[in-house]
A and B are shown apart, each in its own frame.
Chain A
Amino acid sequence: MSLVLGNLLQALRASDVRVSTSEGIDAAAVLGAVGYDDRALLKTALSQVLAKTVDDKSRFDECFEQFFHAEDLRQLPPADEATAEDNAGDSGNETEGDSPGGEQPAAEAANAESGDSLQSLLEAGDRAQLQMAIASAAREVGITEIRLFTQRGMYSRRMLERMGVEPLERRLYALRSAGDEAEAEAERLRGRLTVLREDVLALVDRQLLLLTANAGTRLREEILQQVPLARADVSDFRIMQTLVRKLAKKLVALHSRRRKVAQRGVLDVRHTIRRNIEFDGLLFNIVWRRKKIERPKIVAVCDVSGSVANYARFLLLFLYSVAEVLPKVRAFVFSSVLAEVTELFKTHAVEEAVALTLQQHGWGSTDYGMAFTQLCEQALGDIDHHTTVLILGDARSNYGYAGLRELRQIHERARRVIWLNPESRGFWTVGDSEMPRLATACDRVDTCRTVRHLERLIGELMRTAV
């Protein structure tokens, strides 16, 4: 029983449901309370104790269905060799749970060489018995260790060996020359052996799927974090999207809560007197001064012109995620003229919003001077000493006026101006880049080429947004 539960927990963790040890213990208690008999009841009960968010619940459902795939093996008719039912090759785990004692002799017998028991099992054609034998063989070879696609052959081979297929085959080979009747018998057995092979392979496949469902995605995510944004493929956009969203969510969860920091030691005289009027001015309750940390207000400006076209998708993606999770974000994009996209982001889904933005505003030639002038017109009133101004762009203004005066003006009002440039530092002095000059009106200028960079910078941004 505990083995099945352990396997289930492992499978759940593999499909990204976070299960702690104490929740595992709770799950065991739940099993004790509801038992294994009612499948639907078991599922609801376990889902209440193991999956603690709505997302987790849907993942749990999926995993549970896969894990306890065959509902009840005993109800299957004993299959003859011709019908290799797909769904029959399943869920040794459940049978383990049903009769922990029952299969042990079968396993040992199967182990005991000679293939005698395997032959009799095959001859009897009892599918359930066969399944139990497969399950115990799977356990003996440690199927839960399987991690790679290429290990499938090895594991299924080992399982078959464990069940004594080899001696059986030798015997079948010997039967070949022993007359027609024996040969027909051998043929029949061989057919059943094929079904057995398929069953074993199906079990191995399912285990692999359960245990490694998300390993591929995880690997990709890890790599994508380090790939320069411009070089990431459009087909990776979807993964990038989940990645960026995860990142934004994490950062916000870390920093968004409006914290009240009580500074011990500084007396708030006004409040103390007010609070103690009821005691005739005797100071019973002393009030300390508190400092409130507000969530940062952000004005973000993103360059979507041709020169940064490759980055623009990802920068917009990030902008979208930030706007989604933080309440006070005004988002602007520009190539030659500036446009506010805050409303667009609010009303559209992410893919649509990014596509629309690029379609409506993208691909023009850059004009930083115009952009900053318009930003002053549209948003200067909104920029105050709580605001962080975030500029995403390469600062290449086609040798035109770069808007240094306006940026200075913004800088004077804002708490901070942060410029994230997709080019590496070496290129900032080359060609029409205005970065060195514009940097004088920024509090911080940094290269932002990968998701990792983005994460670090934004994390810092929010942590210090006092």
Chain B
Amino acid sequence: MNAPTSFATDVRASLAAIHAGFEATGYLCSDAIATAIFLATNLQKPILVEGPPGVGKTELACATAAWLGKPLIRLQCYEGLDESKALYEWKYGKQLLYTQVLKDKLGDLMAGANGLADSISRLHEFDDTFFSTEFLEPRPLLKALWEPGGAVLLIDEIDKSDQEFEAFLLEMLQDYQISIPELGTVTATVPPVVFLTSNNTRELGDALKRRCLHLHIPYPDANLERRIIASRVPALSDGIRHQLVGFVHGLRALDLKKTPAISETIDWARALLLLHADELDVDLVRTTLNLLLKFQDDIVQVDNDLYRLISAARKA
């Protein structure tokens, strides 16, 4: 039974290393996130990240790239995205030039050929470079596979893309390879770390989900959020940081159209720092509320409740 214990300490050590490594890049991760990163790097599986907007899904990929010291390659998805924009495109202009050059050279090549059969066999000896990597313009997916030291590939907002594109990604996610009809199969030398993010505007296919680890990032607890604010806006004093995180958590408990996420909390913290505030009061909150809430209905609703929320935040 000794072997498993040392094995367990190994796992724990690498998790601690992930925590520390991410903290150095300025991203504070929860245990679930650290576990996901650990699994993804060990099992070489892509991670599908879901969660409300603004909790740091995209940021996670950036932090991973910084931590691993690999380039981040990003593919933003949208409706109508196809393989010529995601995978590769031929450099048509260069290809046209090449045919022109070839035409000029053809005379030299064929000099002294006897009859049609001979010229065709000569033509066969000639290298066909028309469809070769020379004329290939790599797009994000191909770039990620070609990157010699491996890369971090971020496929952002996969739920915005079409279902066909989702199906097209499957080969890439399963084996880290891609088929180009004219060239054959391109396989990654070092498999990239792949992140897919989704805001759940539509249900993703089972086939895609099956191939990924599924990480759901919820809003952080108060403790973690305070640490995040401390690392992102270090100049802010302790007292107001407590109050502002307490206030935001009070808002999240309400029934709002759009609850404020971490990115909004950080924006608000910066604004408060700029205004040299050292305590939350009603006027201050009322004038800066539009940084946190993005709907007029929400602002009106919170305005009615402001005194209670602020006093609760002060006690927290």
Contact = CB atoms under 8 A, between A and B. Distances in A.
Given A41-B35, A44-B32, A44-B35, A35 B213 contact: no
B157 to A, nearest CB: 16
B203 A253 contact: yes
Contacts of B50: 54
Nearest to B31: A44
Contacts, number: 67
B213 A49 contact: yes
A30 interface: yes
Nearest to B9: A37
A440 interface: no
A20 interface: yes
A33 B213 contact: no
A35 B12 CA distance: 11
Contacts of B12: 38, 41
A38 B34 CA distance: 14
Nearest to B211: A22
A5 B8 CA distance: 19
Contacts of A20: 206, 210
B214 A48 contact: yes
Contacts of A54: 50, 216
B55 interface: no
A37 B9 CA distance: 9
Given A34-B11, A37-B4, A45 B35 contact: yes
A15 to B, nearest CB: 17
Contacts of A48: 32, 35-36, 39, 213-215
A99 B43 CA distance: 25
* Residue among A36, A49, A52, A53 with the highest chain B CB neighbour number at 10 A: A52
Contacts of A29: 43
Contact of A51 (B45, B206, B214): B214
* Residue among B5, B31, B212, B213 with the highest chain A CB neighbour number at 10 A: B213
A57 interface: yes
A26 interface: yes
A23 interface: yes
B4 A36 contact: yes
A309 to B, nearest CB: 32
A420 to B, nearest CB: 27
A258 B212 CA distance: 26
A23 B202 CA distance: 22
A18 B203 CA distance: 15
A238 interface: no
Contacts of A30: 39, 43
A38 B32 contact: no
A18 B207 CA distance: 12
A40 B43 contact: no
Contacts of B206: 18, 20
A26 B11 contact: no
B230 interface: no
Nearest to A18: B206
Interface of B: 1, 4-5, 7-8, 11-12, 15, 31-32, 35-36, 38-39, 42-43, 45, 48, 50, 163, 202-203, 206, 209-210, 212-216
22 contacts: A20-B210, A23-B210, A29-B43, A30-B39, A33-B38, A34-B11, A34-B35, A35-B8, A35-B11, A37-B7, A38-B8, A41-B11, A41-B12, A41-B31, A44-B31, A44-B36, A45-B39, A48-B32, A48-B213, A48-B214, A53-B214, A253-B203
Given A34-B11, A57-B216, 20 more contacts: A20-B206, A23-B210, A33-B11, A34-B38, A34-B39, A35-B7, A37-B4, A37-B5, A41-B15, A45-B35, A45-B39, A48-B36, A49-B39, A51-B214, A52-B210, A53-B214, A99-B1, A253-B203, A257-B163, A257-B202
